[in-house]
């Protein structure tokens, strides 16, 4: 059910909110209004991942075989 934290799904989000005892609009204000109605179907943007470029030097030198 991890997708319920990324993309709005009324049934899943409502079940999570009821379990926690918190209104939908407090957990997901970008998706639900104060009446619990869906206001946006837009997914939560993923955080940008900084990748280490290939060919960069390792953080620790490797030991060579004898």
Any idea which residue has 């030991």 for tokens?
63
* pLDDT in the model for residue 19: 95
* pLDDT in the model for residue 47: 67
* pLDDT in the model for residue 2: 72
For 8, 10, 58, the CA distances from 30, given in Å and listed in that order, are 10, 13, 41
C-beta atoms surrounding 43 within 10 Å: 11
- CA–CA dist 7, 40 (Å, integer): 10
Model confidence, pTM: 0.60
* pLDDT in the model for residue 53: 75
- CA–CA dist 64, 66 (Å, integer): 6
Q: Chunked in runs of 10, what are the mean pLDDT values of the chain (66 residues)?
A: 80 93 91 86 70 68 68
């Amino acid at each position: 059910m991890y997708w319920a934290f990324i993309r709005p799904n009324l049934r899943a989000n409502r079940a999570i909110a009821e379990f926690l005892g918190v209104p939908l609009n407090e957990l997901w204000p970008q998706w639900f209004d104060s009446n619990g109605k869906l206001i946006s179907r837009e997914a939560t943007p993923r955080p940008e991942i900084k990748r280490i470029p290939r060919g960069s030097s390792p953080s620790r030198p490797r030991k060579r075989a004898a």
